[in-house]
Every structure is written in C-alpha cells, then in structure tokens.
Amino acid sequence: MSVELKLDATVRSDQGKGASRRLRRAKQIPGILYGAGKKPVSLTLDEEQVLRLMREEAFFSQILDVKVKGKRTEKAILKDLQRHPFKPLVTHMDLLRIKAGEKMRQSVPIHFLNQETATGVKVGGGVVHHDAIEVEVECLPEDLPAAIDIDISELEMGSSIHLSDVTPPEGVVFPGLDAETDHDPVLVSIHAPRKAVEEEDEEAEGEADGESPTEGGDEGSDGEESS
C-alpha cells in the first residue's frame, strides 16, 4: 500500500538557534519552503510525522504535499535534510517548491533487478558492486519516476553498466551525461570476490618469491661445479 506523502506544517516566526532548540525540545523540526519565484516561508514540522515518512524511500525523491496551516497545500521536494551529528534527530529541513509545467531536477533511487541470477554471479561466482545508488533526472513534475529500474541479468564478470547504457523513461533525461567531456558514470559492475582476488595476489607473490631462491640455488650449484 502506498504511503501518502504529506507534510503538515505551520508558519514559523521565531528565528535563530535558540528558537530552533526550543522547537526541537518540543518534538518539532524547523524548516523552510522556497522556490518557484515565491517568497521563502519558515516552517515548523512535526517530528513524529517526519520520522515516520523517513522510513519510506519515496520521501527522499518524490513530490510531497506540504499543507501549511492557514494556506493552500503546495507541491515540493525534499532538497536538504540536516541531522544531529550523533543523535538520531533531524535538525532542519529544506523544501523546494515545484511549479507545474516547469522542468525540475531530482535524484531518484536506482533499483537493480535480477542481481542474484546475473550471469557474472550465477556462472562466474562474482559479486555485484553498486557504483551508484541514485541518479539525477530532469523532467516535468508529472513525469518524475519513482525509481530507475536496471536489469543486470545479462551482466558478466568484469563488466559494468554505464549511465549511457540505460534508457530513461519517457519524458525523462539524465543531465549527468555529457558527451563533450565524455562523462558517463558507471552505475553497477560485477567483480571477483575480494577473497579470490587476495588469493590470486598471494599466489602471484609466492611464485615471484619462489623464483629468486631457485635462481640463487642454480648460481650456487654452478659455482660448486666450477670449483
């Protein structure tokens, strides 16, 4: 069942660190709503509601309904979320308004499909390495995908999938691709397990070490025969 991505907020008039500390002690989170050519609005958000929504992947990438008390509901995305350095607390939230009919940029999660049955894993015994867990997209608000699905079932050992290998959904482009600078990031790859690589390195070192004594022994033997 999909979760309703809705935030209830009130306009906040108190500013400064002291006011923010008082809010957090009252189980509330200070935030700001800005963008779309409108004046920024300082907000107070309910901590319990925010923490509940943070359990949902979509909260970090999808469009939210921000219902400001006494005002109409506005569409926005989470642009920044600041956390306490060592406590499980959110200290501030930045919300960016979304304007209908205007293209937006947002990072969405990548879902890698068929990882366990990928050729490089099932046949080659390799390990899947996620070089990226999200990708930036550009699109109209109504075209914003929940995620980018990438099927890696045919990915072989030692191979990788680049951003240019992925076909974006209709109405969506990947601004991270840059033909001029040849910027084409790797998203996922399959490599040999680290243990196997370490064993190969050890074998190679052992062979290298084994050659020196043999050569030295031959020289010694030749020396004895000559004498």
pLDDT at 95 over 90: yes
Give me the number of domains the chain comprises: 2
Structure confidence by residue, pLDDT tens digits, 5-45: 999 999 987 766 666 667 777 788 999 999 999 999 999 99
Structure confidence by residue, pLDDT tens digits, 170-191: 999 999 998 778 899 999 999 9
- If asked whether residues 57 and 116 sit together in one domain, one would say no
Q: What mean pLDDT do residues 64-92 have?
A: 91
- 43 lies in a domain? yes
- The CATH number covering residue 31 comes to 2.40.240.10
- If asked whether residues 63 and 92 sit together in one domain, one would say yes
Summarize the chain as % helix, strand, coil (round to 5): 30, 35, 35
**53/55 Cα distance (integer angstroms):** 5
**End residue of a domain, out of 55, 78, 97:** 97
- If asked whether residues 165 and 90 sit together in one domain, one would say no
Q: Which residues of 183-221 are buried (b: 16+ CB within 10 A; e: fewer)?
A: eeeebbbbbbeeeeeeeeeeeeeeeeeeeeeeeeeeeee
- 109 lies in a domain? yes
pLDDT confidence band for 205 (50 / 70 / 90): low
- 144 lies in a domain? yes
Whole-prediction pTM: 0.78
- If asked whether residues 10 and 26 sit together in one domain, one would say yes
- If asked whether residues 108 and 92 sit together in one domain, one would say no
Q: Tokens for 170, please give them.
A: 């209709």
- If asked whether residues 41 and 71 sit together in one domain, one would say yes
Range of the domain at 30: 6-97
Radius of gyration of the chain (CA): 27
- If asked whether residues 21 and 92 sit together in one domain, one would say yes
- If asked whether residues 140 and 115 sit together in one domain, one would say yes
Q: Tokens for 94, please give them.
A: 């930045």
- The CATH number covering residue 118 comes to 2.170.120.20
- Helices (H) then strands (E): counts for the chain: 4, 12
Give the position of tokens 């969405």: 108
Q: Tokens for 21, please give them.
A: 């500390």
Mean pLDDT of the chain: 86
